[in-house]
Amino acid sequence: MARSNRREAGRRRLAMRLPHMRKLIMAACDPLQLELFEAYQMAVEARDILRGQPFNSNLVREYDETCLEIEQHVIRAMQEPSYAQRSS
């Protein structure tokens, strides 16, 4: 999946996952936020691939935790305009 496609897929997935932030997520154009969308999509894709394979429950759990951490970063990035500057 191309980078821009992955970003948009991550954006849409996060908008569904975080409905209270949907408008902000869909309007986001900050480079950090776009990177978070892409990272989220990559983590979800990896987790979903691992779910289909035996003996990967620990890795699936790690990717689930990574997805939750990215969701928290997205929430902070959407709520705090200066978050992008502090995180750089």
10 class by beta-carbon count within 10 Å (0-12 exposed, 13-18 middle, 19+ buried): buried
- Rounded-to-integer distance, Cα 54 and Cα 76, Å: 35
Q: Domain of residue 77: give its range.
A: 3-87
* pTM across the whole model: 0.84
What is the predicted pLDDT for the residue at 84? Answer: 47
Domain count, the chain: 1
pLDDT, tens only, 10-47: 999 999 999 999 999 999 999 999 999 999 999 999 99
Q: What is each CA distance from 4 to 11, 20, 53, in whole angstroms?
A: 10, 24, 28
- Specify the DSSP class assigned to residue 28: -
